[in-house]
Amino acid sequence: MTSAFGAPTLVWFRQDLRLSDNPALRAAAERGAPIVPLYLLDEETPGDWRPGGASRWWLHHALERLGENLAGKGLRLLLRRGAATQAIPSLVGELGAERVVWNRCYEPWAIRRDREIEARLKQANIAVESFAGNVLHEPWTVETGAGKPYSVYTPFWRAIKDRPVEAPLKAPGEMQAGPQAAGERLEDWGLLPRSPDWAGGLRETWTPGEAGARGRLGAFLQHRVDRYGRDRDRPDMDGTSGLSPHLHWGEITARQVWHATQRHLADTGGSAEDAWSFLNELGWRDFAQHLLYHWPSLPDETWKPQFRDFPWREDARAYRAWCRGQTGYPIVDAGMRQLYAIGWMHNRVRMIVGSFLVKDLMIHWREGERWFWDTLVDADAASNASQWQWVAGCGADAAPYFRIFNPVTQGEKFDPSGAYVRKWVPEIAQLPDRFLHKPWEAPAQVLQRAGVELGVTYPRPLVDHKEARRAALAAFEGVKKGAA
C-alpha cells in the first residue's frame, strides 16, 4: 500500500481533535510523507472510563467536524474500532506505514496502552513519536525543590505561573493523503442517543469542534474575561468561558487559551487581576493532570488513607433523588437538572451538589464522580476525580471535611435574585425571593399563591441540613480518632 511518495505516517488522534497547535500532525506534515489520520474507538479502555453518554454525544460531533477540517486539507479521517494494542500495529501493517505519531494523554490506562503499543511497533522497526498533550506543562516537568510532585496547589501555581508556555503551532497547509484503508461509518458507532433523545439541550448549548472552541474563546475574551473575578461564582450569569468540553477533547489547547488571554491583556490593557484569575483556573486543570499522573489510582481510590474507612451510606433512594434533581433543596436541584439538560454545570454549583451528596447524604464521592462521568460533556478523569476528592475533603489539598456547604445560604449568596433556580426548577418559580431557596419555610398561603404543594409539586427536603451536618461531622470525628 506504500504510495509513490514513500511510506505513510499514521497520525493517531485521541483527545486532540483539532488541526491547529497539534504537534503530532504538524510533525507529520513537515516530514512530507503521505498521511493517514485515524480515530480509533478504543475498546480496551477500562469499562468505567469509557466515554459516558454526554461525552459520546460530543465525540460524534467533534469527529464530524474533524473529518471536515481534514478533508479541507486533502486528508480523509479513517475511523476504526477495536482494541488499540492490537488494532494500531495491525493497521500499520495494512498501510505499510513506517511511522506513527500521537499527542500524549495522561490517564493511567492511556499511558499503559501507549507504552505497550510503542514497544510493539519499535520491535517491528516502526518509528514512534509522541508529543506534549493538552497541558501548559507536562506533569513530570513540575516538581518541588526536593524533586517530588506537588500535592498542594498554591506552590504548584507559584512554580508554573511565570514559566514560559510553548507558543501554539499553526495548522498545517494542504497535506498529502496516504493510502485509503477501509474505515467504519461514524453513524454506525451509535454514539448519539436514540430513544429517548435526551440531547436537545446539548444541541442548543454547544458547538463541538475547533471552530466552536475558537468562537467561545473569542466571545469570552471580548465580553467576559474583564469581569471574570466578579462573575465567575455566579451561576445566574454567563460569567465563565464554557471552554471545558473543548479543552477536554483537545479542540483547543491550554497553550492557545493561555497565549490568547495574555495577548488580550497586552492589546486592550484589560484587567490583569481578572485575566490572571482565569489563567489560574488553567493552572488548576494542569494540577489535576499532575495529580493523576503521579497518583494514578486517583479516580478510584480515596487519596487520604484515613478516609478509606469512612462510614459511607448506601441509600439508593436518596442517590436517585440527587441524580434527578429532586432533593427539595432548590440550588442542588437546579444544578442537577442543568447538568442533565445541557451536560454541564456551573463550578460553584458543582461544589454545592458535591458537598450535599458526600456530606448531607454521606454517599461515597465515587458515586458522584460516576454520575458526572456519564452526564458531563467535559467529563475528564483528572479534573473530575481530583475535584470530587477535593469536595469530599479526602483529596490532595482538599477543602477541610468540616467545611460543609449550607445549600440555603450558598443559594442566597450566589443566586441572589433566584434567576438560576427559577430557570431550572420552574415549579417553584412563583415563590417570592425570600423563600425561593427554602420553600419549606414559606407560610401556607404563600405556597398556595405560588402554586406550590410541598411533597406533591416539589419535594420536601430529603434531609434536614442541620442534622445531616451533625451526623457527617460525628462520622468525621470517628475517622480522625480511628486514624490517630
Ligand X SMILES: Cc1cc2nc3c(=O)[nH]c(=O)nc-3n(C[C@H](O)[C@H](O)[C@H](O)COP(=O)(O)OP(=O)(O)OC[C@H]3O[C@@H](n4cnc5c(N)ncnc54)[C@H](O)[C@@H]3O)c2cc1C
Active site residue 281: yes
When asked if residue 264 is in the footprint of ligand X (CB under 6 A), the reply is no
- Told to judge if 322 belongs to the known catalytic residues of this protein, a careful annotator would answer no
Nearer to ligand X, 114 or 286 (CB): 286
Asked if 388 is an active-site residue, the reply is: yes
Active site residue 134: no
Q: Which is nearer to ligand X, 207 or 347 (CB)?
A: 347
Q: Which is nearer to ligand X, 20 or 375 (CB)?
A: 375
| Per-residue cell: 210 | 475547533
244 scored as a contact of ligand X (CB under 6 A): yes
d(CA 112, CA 93): 22
Stretch that binds ligand X, among 69-77, 184-192, 277-285, 411-419 (CB under 6 A): 277-285
238 binds ligand X (CB under 6 A): no
Q: Quote the least distance from Cβ 22 to ligand X, whole Å.
A: 18
Of 175-234, which residues contact ligand X (CB under 6 A)? 232
Of the candidate residues 265, 288, 321, 377, the single one contacting ligand X (CB under 6 A): 288
Q: Measured from the CB atom, is 92 or 351 closer to ligand X?
A: 351
Residue 104 sits in the site that holds ligand X (CB under 6 A): no
- Grid coordinates of 260: 490568547
Determine how β-strand 78-82 pairs with β-strand 99-103. unpaired
- Separation between Cα atoms, residue 333 and residue 338, nearest integer Å: 8
Would you count residue 240 as binding ligand X (CB under 6 A)?
Answer: yes
Picking from 158, 159, 126, 108, the residue whose alpha carbon sits closest to that of residue 12 is 126
Distance CA 178, CA 438 (A): 63
Active-site hit among 312, 344, 373, 424: 312
Classify the phi-psi angles of 397: left when phi > 0, otherwise alpha if psi is within -120 to 50, otherwise beta. left
**Options 365, 373, 390, 424, the catalytic residue:** 365
From candidates 69, 241, 256, 302, binder to ligand X by CB under 6 A: 241
Place of cell 493532570: 289
CB 411 to ligand X: min, Å:
16
Q: Decide if residue 130 touches ligand X (CB under 6 A).
A: no
State the nearest-atom distance from the C-beta of 10 to ligand X, in Å.
Answer: 29
What is the C-alpha to C-alpha distance for residues 262 and 436, in angstroms, rounded to an integer?
41
Looking at residues 294 to 353 of the shown chain, list those that interact with ligand X (rule: CB under 6 A): 347, 350-351
Report if residue 236 touches ligand X, rule: CB under 6 A: no
Judged by beta carbon, residue 88 or residue 345, the one nearer ligand X is: 345
Q: How far is the CB of 49 from ligand X (least distance, A)?
A: 12
Alpha helix stretches (DSSP H) within 401-456:
407-414, 419-424, 433-436, 444-449
Q: Which three cell numbers stand for residue 395?
A: 483529596
# binding residues, ligand X (CB under 6 A): 27
Name which of 85 and 241 has its Cβ closer to ligand X.
Answer: 241
What is the DSSP code string of 230-278? HHTT-TTS--S---HHHHHTTSS-HHHHHHHHHHHHHHH---HHHHHHH
> Using CB under 6 A as the criterion, what x/- string covers residues 376-395 for binding ligand X?
x-xxx--xx--xx--x----
List 136, 221, 243, 447, residue binding ligand X (CB under 6 A): 243
Residue 375 contacts residue 341 (beta carbons within 8 Å): no
Query: Shortest gap between Cβ of 216 and ligand X (angstroms)?
Result: 9
Looking at 117, 217, 247, 357, which residue binds ligand X (CB under 6 A)? 247
Helices (H), 72-142: 84-95, 108-123
Least Å distance, CB 186 to ligand X, is 24
Q: Which helix (H) or strand (E) holds 40?
A: strand 35-42
Residue 453, φ and ψ in degrees, nearest 5 = -120, 105
The CA–CA distances, whole Å, from 462 to 292, 331, 351, 458 equal: 34, 13, 18, 11
Q: Which of residues 436-455 bind ligand X (CB under 6 A)?
A: none
**Among positive and negative, which fits the CA dihedral 104, 105, 107, 112?**
negative
Closest distance to ligand X from the beta carbon of 13 (Å): 20
| Percent of the chain that is helix, strand, coil (3-state, to 5) | 55, 5, 40
Options 32-40, 284-292, 330-338, 439-447: segment touching ligand X (CB under 6 A): 284-292
| Min dist. Cβ of residue 242 to ligand X (A) | 4
Q: CA end-to-end span of the chain, whole Å? A: 66
> In this complex, which beta carbon is closest to ligand X, that of residue 120 or of residue 423?
423
Least distance in angstroms from the C-beta of 387 to ligand X: 3
From residue 427, alpha-carbon distances to 350, 424, 455, 458 in Å are 22, 9, 12, 7
In angstroms, the CA 401 to CA 203 distance is 38
Site residues for ligand X per CB under 6 A: 232, 240-244, 247-248, 281-282, 284-285, 288, 347, 350-351, 354, 372, 376, 378-380, 383-384, 387-388, 391
Q: Which residues are catalytic?
A: 281, 284, 312, 347, 365, 388
